[in-house]
Amino acid sequence: MTSNNKKNPSLGRGLSALLSDTTATAGGSNLIAIEKIEPNPFNPRTDFDENALKELAESIQELGIIQPLTLRKLNTDKYQIISGERRFRASQIAGLKEVPAYIRVANDQSMLEMALVENIQRENLNAIEIGLSYHRLLEECKMTQTDLSQKIAKSRSDITNHLRLLKLPAKIQACVRDGKISMGHARALLSISDEHQQLLALDSILEKGLSVREIEQWNSKTTTPKSSPSSNHLSPLEKQLVKALGTSVKITESAKGKGKLIVSFDSRIQRDALIAKLSQG
């Protein structure tokens, strides 16, 4: 390896760039008994789709395991998964007694880093799982965003955008995790400063299929009172309602006390927000 490489050769290469094989075989993998393998406690993925696992198990029964697992040797009779837990679970369903694997040596800190980097690069994690993996690499592995960006070959803006999702209410994070709303919707919800309004907007996405663009307009439509050239001519009660509702209000009243209260809205987004406000209390 010379010092005049233009780029870090480890970028984009996953575990092969971070680990050295402890075996001396030229081909690489070994066959390891499934009963000697245990899951990785550091794996950021905690949910595995049962139907997808069954489909993978059928593929393994027909074609075998194309990509070997990567294992950490704990002792002579026990191994721990660094990457490939999904393949491991599917192999159990398929009834395999042993699986091909690369055997590596790593301490817990290195193992955590390797598992997180491997999953970010190779697994189909959802946006919340990716954000959690970024957070753990920054906090537990003491990386800077610049270090992380270089290691996983992702832009700093991508890292920042995923980390920001972790600031959303738990209900919204769960919807992103479960695929009920897109990352685009989640990022639009971040522009709404009030948590209650974020959850109202989420309900509208789920119930009415609001677009990302409509959610981006939610904040200005629901929280900013309208200014009007004639606002100085409003009655004290009208001014109070404008301030409370964030939209234009008109009151007409007869001498006998009968009249009308007209509350204006510009979109169904603002209408729903006004109904929610009026329903409170």
Confirm whether 162 is domain-assigned. no
As for how many domains the chain has, the answer is: 2
Determine the pLDDT at residue 244. Answer: 74
Cα dihedral 180, 182, 186, 189 sign: negative
| Residue where one domain finishes, among candidates 63, 94, 115 | 115
Q: What is the pTM of this model?
A: 0.49
Contact 54, 40 (CB under 8 A): no
Confirm whether 126 is domain-assigned. no
| Residue where one domain finishes, among candidates 88, 115, 142 | 115
Host domain of residue 59 = 14-115
Contact 106, 165 (CB under 8 A): no
DSSP readout, 66-115?
SS-EEEEEEETTEEEEEE-HHHHHHHHHHT-SEEEEEEE---HHHHHHHH
Q: How far apart are CA 240 and CA 234, in angstroms?
A: 10
Determine the pLDDT at residue 93. Answer: 95
Of 141, 119, 140, 139, nearest in space to 130 by CA: 119
Confirm whether 163 is domain-assigned. no
59: domain CATH number is: 3.90.1530.30
Confirm whether 190 is domain-assigned. no
Q: What are the pLDDT digits (tens) for 74-97?
A: 887 899 998 888 999 999 999 999
Looking at 62, 85, 139, 207, which residue is catalytic?
85
Query: Is position 85 annotated as part of the catalytic site?
Result: yes
Nearby residues of 239 by Cβ (< 8 Å), 6 or more positions away: 231
Confirm whether 269 is domain-assigned. yes
Confirm whether 54 is domain-assigned. yes
Determine the pLDDT at residue 24. Answer: 34
Low-confidence ranges of the chain (pLDDT < 70): 1-28, 44, 46, 105-108, 122-123, 219-234, 246, 255-256, 266-267, 269, 280-281
Cα dihedral 89, 95, 100, 104 sign: positive
